[in-house]
Amino acid sequence: MKSKNSDRNLAHAALGCLLCLLRVARVVVVGVLSSVAHAQPAGGEPSIAFFYGANPPVAPLSAFDVVVIEPDSGFDPLAHKSTHTAWFAYVSVGEVAPQRPYYAAIPKAWLTGRNAAWASTVIDQDAAGWPAFYIEHVIAPLWKRGYRGFFLDTLDSYQLVATTDEARARQQAGLVAVIRAIRARYPQARLIFNRGFEILPQVHTLVYAVAFESLYRGWDQAQQRYAEVPQADRDWLLAQAATIRERYRLHVVSIDYCPPGDVECAQHAVAAISATGIVPYVTDGALQTVGVGPVRGSN
């Protein structure tokens, strides 16, 4: 989700759960999506929220076990230490936007393509110096600020520029090197993937959870509209989720999108995702409002 990458699932599902029924819990009011039923996670699954707006509202977000924050929002994780809520930083691996502070330091030869929908540039994961650069310029500053978890986005962006099996294999090897470099430098770091299904066989032991977007309801960034997810795309994602949970024993969360204030849409999405055994989180297309999902203490 490119801080923000929700059209990805619709675009990539063609390339590339669970029979554990979750019950819907008490009705609560959260942000703009009010009076929506929250689900109780099964089997000790964590609740995970994603908020990319400025001035994150700490009180409602603290109802979740993990909250992914846009680190350029000015949020200070050290000022909001909690024994209950872990604050994760959003970081992009496969792409970079010009406004990121490290953009100017990236060698131009490493910038290999464009994602027009997000006005961002695709980075060559095969560049020899990329893992070390990523640690020093992206992860290390956030670790110093107090983040101990990271949501790794744009793990599939290489597919926009790699057109052969050989090229894709090189890009995947580069991604694996980045993941291993993060954990080598910071062994206690917890990592959440946004997709990255192709590299999980090599790095699943280093991952805390895997998220994907749009199991039932998606956001089309190019068209600036909300959309129903086709059944074929949903079936493919459910198969991926089954592998992740059964083979790798990792937490799985689906981030779905509904218009702010559309209670019926959000309630339906939460219930439908929960029924698959996947942890739901439903929010607006820009992730600027506190969304709906399982919260701590729901019963």
Q: Please answer whether residues 31 and 291 qualify as being in contact, where contact means their C-beta atoms are separated by less than 8 angstroms.
A: yes
**Short-list 45, 95, 100, CA closest to 70:** 100
Q: Distance (Å, rounded) from C-alpha 96 to C-alpha 90? A: 12
Question: What is residue 82's predicted lDDT score, i.e. its pLDDT?
Answer: 85
Please report the domains of the chain, with CATH numbers, ordered by start residue.
7-16+36-283 (3.20.20.70)
The structure's pTM equals 0.86
Percent of the chain at pLDDT exceeding 90: 80
Burial class (CB in 10 A: 0-12, 13-18, 19+), 273: buried
DSSP state of 46: P
User: From the DSSP assignment, how many helices (H) and strands (E) are in the chain?
Assistant: 8, 15
Q: Contact 253/208 with Cβ under 8 angstroms?
A: no
Residue 201 corresponds to which amino acid? P
Q: Per-block average pLDDT, block size 10, for the chain (299 residues)?
A: 45 36 30 40 80 95 97 94 94 97 97 92 97 98 98 97 97 98 98 98 98 96 93 98 97 97 94 96 96 71
For the stretch 260-272, pLDDT in tens is 999 999 999 999 9
Provide the token pair at 63.
């109802």
Cα–Cα dist 296/282, whole Å: 16
For residue 217, CA distances in Å to 15, 31, 95 come to: 19, 19, 24
Query: Cβ distance 17 to 238 under 8 Å?
Result: yes
Q: What is the pLDDT of residue 58?
A: 96
For residue 43, the model assigns a pLDDT of: 53
